[in-house]
Structure 1
Amino acid sequence: MLRACLGAAFLVAVHAGSAWADQDWVPPVTDPATLKECGECHMAFQPAFLPARSWDKMMDTLDDHFGDNASLPADTTAAIRAYLTANAGDVRPQGLARSFMAWVEPGGAPQRLTENPDFRREHRKITAQKLQRSGALSIVNCPACHQGADRGWYDDD
Protein backbone atom coordinates (compact mmCIF):
# COMPACT_ATOMS: atom_id res chain seq x y z
CA MET A 1 0.00 0.00 0.00
CA LEU A 2 2.76 2.43 0.94
CA ARG A 3 4.55 1.63 -2.32
CA ALA A 4 1.40 2.41 -4.33
CA CYS A 5 0.92 5.72 -2.50
CA LEU A 6 4.53 6.73 -3.05
CA GLY A 7 4.27 5.78 -6.72
CA ALA A 8 1.12 7.86 -7.13
CA ALA A 9 2.72 10.81 -5.31
CA PHE A 10 5.76 10.55 -7.59
CA LEU A 11 3.57 10.59 -10.71
CA VAL A 12 1.63 13.60 -9.47
CA ALA A 13 4.86 15.45 -8.66
CA VAL A 14 6.40 14.63 -12.05
CA HIS A 15 3.24 15.69 -13.88
CA ALA A 16 2.92 18.92 -11.89
CA GLY A 17 6.59 19.70 -12.45
CA SER A 18 6.41 19.07 -16.18
CA ALA A 19 3.20 21.11 -16.47
CA TRP A 20 4.90 24.03 -14.73
CA ALA A 21 8.05 23.75 -16.83
CA ASP A 22 6.04 23.38 -20.02
CA GLN A 23 4.46 26.78 -19.40
CA ASP A 24 7.86 28.47 -19.39
CA TRP A 25 9.45 26.59 -22.30
CA VAL A 26 9.44 26.61 -26.09
CA PRO A 27 11.53 24.39 -28.36
CA PRO A 28 14.94 26.04 -28.83
CA VAL A 29 16.34 27.12 -32.18
CA THR A 30 18.46 24.25 -33.50
CA ASP A 31 18.97 25.24 -37.14
CA PRO A 32 22.58 26.41 -37.71
CA ALA A 33 21.67 28.93 -40.46
CA THR A 34 18.95 30.50 -38.32
CA LEU A 35 21.25 30.68 -35.31
CA LYS A 36 24.03 32.24 -37.38
CA GLU A 37 22.10 34.74 -39.49
CA CYS A 38 19.47 35.86 -36.98
CA GLY A 39 21.84 35.62 -34.05
CA GLU A 40 24.34 38.08 -35.55
CA CYS A 41 22.16 41.03 -34.58
CA HIS A 42 19.87 39.69 -31.85
CA MET A 43 18.93 36.49 -30.11
CA ALA A 44 17.57 33.99 -32.62
CA PHE A 45 13.97 33.94 -31.38
CA GLN A 46 12.24 30.61 -31.18
CA PRO A 47 9.86 30.07 -34.11
CA ALA A 48 7.10 29.01 -31.70
CA PHE A 49 6.53 32.62 -30.65
CA LEU A 50 4.88 33.53 -33.97
CA PRO A 51 2.60 31.78 -36.47
CA ALA A 52 4.03 30.57 -39.79
CA ARG A 53 2.40 33.44 -41.72
CA SER A 54 4.30 35.92 -39.52
CA TRP A 55 7.60 34.26 -40.33
CA ASP A 56 6.69 34.25 -44.04
CA LYS A 57 5.98 37.98 -43.90
CA MET A 58 9.19 38.63 -41.98
CA MET A 59 11.29 36.67 -44.46
CA ASP A 60 9.60 38.53 -47.34
CA THR A 61 10.59 41.90 -45.89
CA LEU A 62 14.20 41.37 -44.80
CA ASP A 63 15.22 44.42 -46.82
CA ASP A 64 13.39 46.47 -44.15
CA HIS A 65 13.73 44.36 -41.02
CA PHE A 66 12.62 46.77 -38.31
CA GLY A 67 14.52 49.58 -40.02
CA ASP A 68 17.59 47.55 -41.01
CA ASN A 69 18.47 45.77 -44.23
CA ALA A 70 18.84 42.13 -43.23
CA SER A 71 18.70 40.74 -46.77
CA LEU A 72 20.25 37.32 -47.29
CA PRO A 73 21.05 35.19 -50.32
CA ALA A 74 17.93 33.49 -51.72
CA ASP A 75 19.03 29.98 -50.73
CA THR A 76 19.75 31.05 -47.14
CA THR A 77 16.43 32.91 -46.94
CA ALA A 78 14.59 29.83 -48.21
CA ALA A 79 16.31 27.53 -45.72
CA ILE A 80 15.62 29.80 -42.76
CA ARG A 81 12.01 30.35 -43.89
CA ALA A 82 11.49 26.58 -44.12
CA TYR A 83 12.85 26.08 -40.60
CA LEU A 84 10.85 28.95 -39.06
CA THR A 85 7.54 28.03 -40.67
CA ALA A 86 7.90 24.31 -39.92
CA ASN A 87 8.46 25.11 -36.24
CA ALA A 88 6.06 28.05 -35.88
CA GLY A 89 3.69 28.30 -32.94
CA ASP A 90 0.61 27.46 -34.98
CA VAL A 91 2.36 24.40 -36.46
CA ARG A 92 3.97 23.09 -33.26
CA PRO A 93 2.12 24.74 -30.34
CA GLN A 94 4.29 23.44 -27.50
CA GLY A 95 4.70 24.93 -24.05
CA LEU A 96 4.69 28.72 -23.94
CA ALA A 97 3.73 28.84 -27.62
CA ARG A 98 0.16 27.80 -26.75
CA SER A 99 -0.48 30.99 -24.78
CA PHE A 100 1.30 33.10 -27.38
CA MET A 101 -0.81 31.65 -30.20
CA ALA A 102 -4.05 32.17 -28.28
CA TRP A 103 -3.86 35.94 -28.79
CA VAL A 104 -3.15 35.86 -32.55
CA GLU A 105 -6.20 36.86 -34.55
CA PRO A 106 -7.30 34.46 -37.29
CA GLY A 107 -5.27 35.40 -40.36
CA GLY A 108 -3.14 37.82 -38.33
CA ALA A 109 0.59 38.04 -38.96
CA PRO A 110 2.11 39.86 -35.97
CA GLN A 111 5.75 40.82 -36.34
CA ARG A 112 6.74 41.73 -32.80
CA LEU A 113 6.84 39.42 -29.79
CA THR A 114 6.38 42.50 -27.62
CA GLU A 115 2.83 42.94 -28.97
CA ASN A 116 1.72 39.73 -27.31
CA PRO A 117 -0.55 40.38 -24.29
CA ASP A 118 1.16 37.56 -22.35
CA PHE A 119 4.55 39.14 -23.04
CA ARG A 120 3.25 42.56 -21.95
CA ARG A 121 1.70 41.16 -18.77
CA GLU A 122 4.86 39.29 -17.80
CA HIS A 123 7.04 42.35 -18.43
CA ARG A 124 4.70 45.10 -17.18
CA LYS A 125 6.97 46.00 -14.24
CA ILE A 126 10.15 46.22 -16.32
CA THR A 127 11.29 49.85 -16.44
CA ALA A 128 14.00 51.47 -18.53
CA GLN A 129 16.09 51.75 -15.37
CA LYS A 130 15.73 48.03 -14.63
CA LEU A 131 16.71 47.20 -18.21
CA GLN A 132 19.79 49.38 -17.92
CA ARG A 133 20.80 47.85 -14.56
CA SER A 134 20.43 44.34 -15.98
CA GLY A 135 22.49 45.23 -19.03
CA ALA A 136 19.56 44.30 -21.30
CA LEU A 137 19.03 47.81 -22.69
CA SER A 138 16.09 46.40 -24.67
CA ILE A 139 13.04 44.41 -23.62
CA VAL A 140 13.84 41.84 -26.33
CA ASN A 141 17.32 41.06 -25.03
CA CYS A 142 15.84 37.99 -23.37
CA PRO A 143 19.12 36.35 -22.23
CA ALA A 144 19.91 39.36 -20.02
CA CYS A 145 17.16 38.27 -17.61
CA HIS A 146 16.39 34.72 -18.71
CA GLN A 147 19.70 32.86 -18.75
CA GLY A 148 18.06 29.85 -20.42
CA ALA A 149 16.39 31.84 -23.21
CA ASP A 150 18.63 30.42 -25.94
CA ARG A 151 17.52 26.93 -24.81
CA GLY A 152 13.86 27.96 -24.79
CA TRP A 153 13.51 28.43 -21.02
CA TYR A 154 11.79 31.61 -19.87
CA ASP A 155 11.31 30.96 -16.19
CA ASP A 156 12.29 33.85 -13.96
CA ASP A 157 16.00 33.39 -13.39
Structure 2
Amino acid sequence: MTNTTMQAHGLTVPEPVSGQRSNRHAAAAVAALATALAWSAPAAADSDEYFRPVTDETVKTECSACHMAYPAGMLPARSWRALMGDLSNHFGEDASLPEETRAAIETWLTANAASDGSRIGRSMRDGDPVLRISETPWWVRAHRGEVSPAAFDSPKVGSKANCSACHRGAEQGYFEDD
Protein backbone atom coordinates (compact mmCIF):
# COMPACT_ATOMS: atom_id res chain seq x y z
CA MET A 1 0.00 0.00 0.00
CA THR A 2 1.17 3.54 -0.66
CA ASN A 3 0.50 6.88 0.98
CA THR A 4 0.53 8.84 -2.26
CA THR A 5 -2.58 10.47 -3.64
CA MET A 6 -3.74 11.60 -7.05
CA GLN A 7 -6.10 14.29 -8.28
CA ALA A 8 -9.04 13.12 -10.41
CA HIS A 9 -11.73 15.58 -11.52
CA GLY A 10 -11.02 17.86 -8.57
CA LEU A 11 -11.12 15.02 -6.04
CA THR A 12 -8.19 13.66 -4.05
CA VAL A 13 -8.15 9.89 -4.43
CA PRO A 14 -5.62 7.70 -2.55
CA GLU A 15 -3.33 5.65 -4.76
CA PRO A 16 -4.46 2.02 -4.77
CA VAL A 17 -2.65 -1.10 -3.76
CA SER A 18 -1.06 -2.69 -6.82
CA GLY A 19 -3.68 -4.30 -9.07
CA GLN A 20 -6.53 -1.99 -8.03
CA ARG A 21 -5.87 0.76 -10.57
CA SER A 22 -9.10 0.07 -12.54
CA ASN A 23 -11.20 0.40 -9.37
CA ARG A 24 -9.60 3.78 -8.63
CA HIS A 25 -10.45 5.04 -12.11
CA ALA A 26 -13.98 3.69 -11.84
CA ALA A 27 -14.46 5.41 -8.47
CA ALA A 28 -13.12 8.69 -9.86
CA ALA A 29 -15.42 8.41 -12.89
CA VAL A 30 -18.45 7.73 -10.69
CA ALA A 31 -17.56 10.71 -8.47
CA ALA A 32 -17.17 12.97 -11.51
CA LEU A 33 -20.49 11.80 -12.97
CA ALA A 34 -22.30 12.30 -9.66
CA THR A 35 -20.89 15.82 -9.39
CA ALA A 36 -21.94 16.66 -12.95
CA LEU A 37 -25.46 15.34 -12.38
CA ALA A 38 -25.78 17.20 -9.09
CA TRP A 39 -24.88 20.49 -10.80
CA SER A 40 -27.04 19.96 -13.89
CA ALA A 41 -30.25 18.62 -12.32
CA PRO A 42 -31.29 21.86 -10.58
CA ALA A 43 -30.59 23.84 -13.75
CA ALA A 44 -32.80 21.53 -15.81
CA ALA A 45 -35.60 21.62 -13.25
CA ASP A 46 -35.38 25.41 -12.90
CA SER A 47 -35.74 26.32 -16.54
CA ASP A 48 -38.02 28.54 -18.57
CA GLU A 49 -38.08 25.86 -21.27
CA TYR A 50 -38.56 22.56 -19.42
CA PHE A 51 -40.89 21.57 -16.62
CA ARG A 52 -41.45 18.06 -15.36
CA PRO A 53 -44.68 16.96 -17.05
CA VAL A 54 -47.73 15.70 -15.19
CA THR A 55 -47.29 12.02 -14.42
CA ASP A 56 -50.26 11.45 -12.12
CA GLU A 57 -53.14 9.85 -14.03
CA THR A 58 -55.86 11.54 -11.96
CA VAL A 59 -54.33 14.97 -12.54
CA LYS A 60 -53.93 14.25 -16.26
CA THR A 61 -57.49 12.99 -16.65
CA GLU A 62 -59.31 15.64 -14.63
CA CYS A 63 -57.31 18.70 -15.67
CA SER A 64 -56.96 17.85 -19.34
CA ALA A 65 -60.71 17.31 -19.63
CA CYS A 66 -60.92 21.09 -20.15
CA HIS A 67 -57.37 22.33 -20.80
CA MET A 68 -53.81 21.14 -20.93
CA ALA A 69 -52.62 19.48 -17.71
CA TYR A 70 -50.10 22.18 -16.81
CA PRO A 71 -46.85 21.08 -15.18
CA ALA A 72 -47.05 21.68 -11.42
CA GLY A 73 -43.66 23.43 -11.49
CA MET A 74 -45.19 26.38 -13.32
CA LEU A 75 -46.72 27.69 -10.08
CA PRO A 76 -45.74 27.64 -6.41
CA ALA A 77 -47.71 25.49 -3.95
CA ARG A 78 -49.69 28.44 -2.56
CA SER A 79 -51.07 29.17 -6.04
CA TRP A 80 -52.11 25.54 -6.55
CA ARG A 81 -53.78 25.50 -3.11
CA ALA A 82 -55.76 28.63 -3.99
CA LEU A 83 -56.81 27.22 -7.39
CA MET A 84 -57.85 23.88 -5.94
CA GLY A 85 -59.66 25.57 -3.05
CA ASP A 86 -62.22 27.29 -5.31
CA LEU A 87 -62.98 24.89 -8.15
CA SER A 88 -66.62 25.99 -8.23
CA ASN A 89 -65.29 29.26 -9.68
CA HIS A 90 -62.39 28.06 -11.84
CA PHE A 91 -61.93 31.01 -14.20
CA GLY A 92 -65.69 31.35 -14.63
CA GLU A 93 -66.38 27.61 -14.84
CA ASP A 94 -67.61 25.15 -12.24
CA ALA A 95 -64.83 22.56 -12.16
CA SER A 96 -65.98 20.99 -8.90
CA LEU A 97 -64.73 17.49 -8.13
CA PRO A 98 -65.50 14.92 -5.45
CA GLU A 99 -63.50 15.88 -2.34
CA GLU A 100 -61.28 12.79 -2.47
CA THR A 101 -60.31 13.53 -6.09
CA ARG A 102 -59.82 17.24 -5.41
CA ALA A 103 -57.59 16.52 -2.40
CA ALA A 104 -55.51 13.97 -4.34
CA ILE A 105 -54.93 16.44 -7.18
CA GLU A 106 -54.05 19.27 -4.78
CA THR A 107 -51.61 16.98 -2.95
CA TRP A 108 -49.86 16.03 -6.20
CA LEU A 109 -49.74 19.61 -7.50
CA THR A 110 -48.35 21.07 -4.27
CA ALA A 111 -45.80 18.27 -3.88
CA ASN A 112 -44.51 18.98 -7.40
CA ALA A 113 -44.93 22.77 -7.39
CA ALA A 114 -42.19 25.32 -7.95
CA SER A 115 -40.16 25.67 -4.79
CA ASP A 116 -39.68 29.06 -3.16
CA GLY A 117 -35.99 28.86 -4.09
CA SER A 118 -36.58 28.11 -7.78
CA ARG A 119 -36.50 30.79 -10.45
CA ILE A 120 -40.30 30.83 -10.53
CA GLY A 121 -40.63 30.84 -6.75
CA ARG A 122 -38.16 33.70 -6.40
CA SER A 123 -40.03 35.74 -9.01
CA MET A 124 -43.29 35.60 -7.05
CA ARG A 125 -44.10 38.33 -4.55
CA ASP A 126 -45.55 37.65 -1.14
CA GLY A 127 -49.24 38.36 -0.84
CA ASP A 128 -52.08 37.02 -2.90
CA PRO A 129 -51.12 33.96 -4.93
CA VAL A 130 -50.97 34.29 -8.70
CA LEU A 131 -53.70 32.08 -10.16
CA ARG A 132 -52.97 32.38 -13.88
CA ILE A 133 -49.69 30.97 -15.14
CA SER A 134 -49.76 33.68 -17.82
CA GLU A 135 -49.64 36.33 -15.08
CA THR A 136 -46.50 35.04 -13.39
CA PRO A 137 -43.41 37.23 -13.77
CA TRP A 138 -41.39 34.49 -15.50
CA TRP A 139 -44.17 33.84 -18.07
CA VAL A 140 -44.55 37.54 -18.83
CA ARG A 141 -40.76 37.90 -19.30
CA ALA A 142 -40.57 34.78 -21.49
CA HIS A 143 -43.28 36.05 -23.86
CA ARG A 144 -42.54 39.80 -23.84
CA GLY A 145 -41.44 40.86 -27.30
CA GLU A 146 -41.74 37.26 -28.53
CA VAL A 147 -45.49 37.06 -29.12
CA SER A 148 -47.83 39.89 -30.01
CA PRO A 149 -50.91 40.18 -27.78
CA ALA A 150 -53.11 39.73 -30.88
CA ALA A 151 -51.56 36.31 -31.53
CA PHE A 152 -53.17 34.94 -28.37
CA ASP A 153 -56.61 35.92 -29.67
CA SER A 154 -56.08 34.40 -33.11
CA PRO A 155 -58.23 31.38 -34.04
CA LYS A 156 -55.12 29.17 -34.13
CA VAL A 157 -54.17 29.98 -30.53
CA GLY A 158 -57.39 31.07 -28.84
CA SER A 159 -55.87 32.23 -25.55
CA LYS A 160 -52.73 32.41 -23.46
CA ALA A 161 -53.81 29.13 -21.85
CA ASN A 162 -53.26 27.17 -25.07
CA CYS A 163 -49.53 26.46 -24.71
CA SER A 164 -49.63 23.63 -27.26
CA ALA A 165 -50.54 26.06 -30.05
CA CYS A 166 -46.96 27.34 -30.08
CA HIS A 167 -45.05 24.81 -27.98
CA ARG A 168 -45.49 21.41 -29.62
CA GLY A 169 -43.79 19.62 -26.72
CA ALA A 170 -45.84 21.33 -24.00
CA GLU A 171 -47.62 18.13 -22.91
CA GLN A 172 -44.19 16.57 -22.31
CA GLY A 173 -42.96 19.64 -20.41
CA TYR A 174 -40.97 21.28 -23.21
CA PHE A 175 -41.68 24.95 -23.81
CA GLU A 176 -38.78 25.95 -26.02
CA ASP A 177 -39.48 28.22 -28.96
CA ASP A 178 -40.78 26.14 -31.86
In which range does the TM-score fall when normalised by the shorter chain? 0.7 to 0.9
Partner of residue 56, structure 1: 81
Kindly indicate whether the alpha-carbon contact (under 8 Å) linking 1:51 and 1:90 is maintained by their aligned counterparts in 2.
Answer: yes
* Contiguous gaps of at least 5 residues in structure 2: 1-32
Change (3 A) 1:123 1:134: farther
Between the aligned partners of 2:79 and 2:73, the Cα distance in structure 1 is 11
Per residue, is there more helix in 1 or in 2?
Answer: 1
* Contiguous gaps of at least 5 residues in structure 1: 1-10
Kindly indicate whether the alpha-carbon contact (under 8 Å) linking 2:76 and 2:120 is maintained by their aligned counterparts in 1.
Answer: no
Q: TM-score normalized by structure 1?
A: 0.76
Kindly indicate whether the alpha-carbon contact (under 8 Å) linking 1:134 and 1:144 is maintained by their aligned counterparts in 2.
Answer: no
Q: Work out the percentage of aligned pairs sharing the same amino acid.
A: 41
2:109 to 84, 88, 101: 84
Between the aligned partners of 1:109 and 1:39, the Cα distance in structure 2 is 22
AA paired with 1:155? E
Q: CA deviation at 1:78?
A: 1.0
Q: CA deviation at 1:129?
A: 4.2
Partner of residue 119, structure 2: 99
AA paired with 2:157? A
Q: CA deviation at 1:106?
A: 3.3
Task: Please give the root-mean-square deviation of Cα atoms over the aligned residues, in Å.
Answer: 2.6
Kindly indicate whether the alpha-carbon contact (under 8 Å) linking 2:51 and 2:71 is maintained by their aligned counterparts in 1.
Answer: yes
SS of 1:37's partner is helix
Map 1:1-150 → 2, pairs under 5 A: 22=44, 23=47, 24-90=49-115, 98-106=118-126, 108-125=128-145, 126-131=147-152, 135-150=156-171
Residue by residue over 1:63-113, the C-alpha shift from the partner in whole angstroms, topping out at 9 and shown as x without a partner, is 00011100001111011011001101017x6xxxx3222211235421111
Given the alignment of the two structures, is residue 155 of structure 1 paired with residue 155 of structure 2, yes or no? no
Residue by residue over 1:4-58, the C-alpha shift from the partner in whole angstroms, topping out at 9 and shown as x without a partner, is xxxxxxx9xx99xx68x82311110011111111101111111111111111111
Between the aligned partners of 1:117 and 1:137, the Cα distance in structure 2 is 21
AA paired with 1:105? R
Larger Rg computed on CA atoms: 2
Q: CA deviation at 1:134?
A: 7.2
Segment of structure 1 superposing worse, 38-47 or 106-115: 106-115
The number of equivalent residue pairs is: 138
- Structure scoring higher RCO (CA < 8 A, sep ≥ 6) equals 1
Between the aligned partners of 1:107 and 1:117, the Cα distance in structure 2 is 14
Per residue, is there more strand in 1 or in 2?
Answer: 2
Q: CA deviation at 1:127?
A: 2.7
